[in-house]
Amino acid sequence: MSDVVITVRGESSARVRAEEAAVRVTVSTDGPSRGPVVERAQERASTVQDGLVAHLRSGEVSEWSSARVSVWSDRPWNNEGVQLPLVHHASVEVSATFTDAGALSWWLGDVAESDDVQVTAVEWRLSPDTRARVEREVAAEAVHVAVERAAAYADALGLASVSAVEIADAGLLGARPEAPAPINARLMAASNAHGPSFSLQPPEIDVTSVVEGRFRAE
């Protein structure tokens, strides 16, 4: 039998407990007078930021920022079609990265006591070093799976050895417009871990790698 080219796919995944939580809260105020509205937003935002500074000093927060501030005014309409007096609004967006779930739970419970503060997002993730290490391990295992699969095909054909010709992320060896290529080393939260009690448990993150390989068997 002449040489045979075998094309296979290898997959691997790992589940790793999230190490960080990127949280975003928005302080929003409104009222009939612009000055007091802005002042109240600044005061409430300062309280939120003071709490983050304390957690930063204790090592429970790795970074925080408050870069988005908005002030605007509008004249709402009532249900009778009459335009009401001018209403002023102010908002301050604050974001932080927590490395301790207990500290995050406590902080969210504290800031959520104010009607002026809204928790808009909590995104769990791995630290950059852990993500890079796990992605490398998972990708290597996916290649190993592809090699083993190609060897099994070759053995079924009565061929003695296989050698790699091409290895690529899924979808790169051939165009398949009818099916999107799997994303290499995807990060997905396994569960939505936050609830009304703010007793947060870091979810597991799925790290997945899919590769395609072309091998020559002889």
pLDDT in tens, 148-159: 999 999 999 998
Residue 90 binned pLDDT confidence (cut-offs 50, 70, 90)? very high
CB atoms within 10 A of CB 142: 26
Nearest one of 101, 99, 117 to 48, comparing CA atoms: 117
Angle formed at CA 53 by CA 96 and CA 203, multiple of 5 degrees: 35
Kindly state the average pLDDT of the residues 199-214.
91
| Residues 48 and 119 sit within 8 Å (Cβ to Cβ) | no
CATH number of 20-125: 3.30.70
Q: Which residues contact 145 (CB under 8 A, 6 or more apart)?
A: 10, 11, 12
Residue 176 binned pLDDT confidence (cut-offs 50, 70, 90)? low
Q: What is the pLDDT of residue 180?
A: 39
The Cα 108–Cα 195 span in angstroms is 11
What is the residue-averaged pLDDT of the chain?
86
CA dihedral 186, 11, 216, 164 (to 10 degrees): 50
Which of 7-16, 53-62, 70-79, 166-175 shows the lowest mean pLDDT across its residues?
A: 166-175
CATH number of 4-17+128-217: 3.30.110.170
Phi, psi (degrees; rounded to nearest 5) at 50: -60, -40
Query: Long-range pairs for 108-115 at CB < 8 Å and ≥24 separation?
Result: 108/23, 108/194, 108/198, 108/200, 109/198, 110/51, 111/25, 111/48, 111/51, 112/198, 114/44
Query: Please, what is the end-to-end C-alpha distance for the chain in angstroms?
Result: 8
**Which sequence spans correspond to the domains of the chain?**
4-17+128-217, 20-125
Q: What is the pLDDT of residue 198?
A: 61
Examine domains 4-17+128-217 and 20-125 and report if their fold is the same: no
Kindly state the average pLDDT of the residues 64-83.
89
The H or E element spanning position 149 is helix 128-156
Nearest one of 15, 19, 8 to 156, comparing CA atoms: 8
124 vs 190, which has greater pLDDT? 124
Give the C-alpha distances (Å, rounded to integers) separating 108 from 90, 111, 126, 130. 21, 5, 20, 26
Q: Where are the beta strands (DSSP E) in the chain?
A: 4-17, 20-31, 61-74, 87-98, 117-125, 162-169, 186-189, 204-217
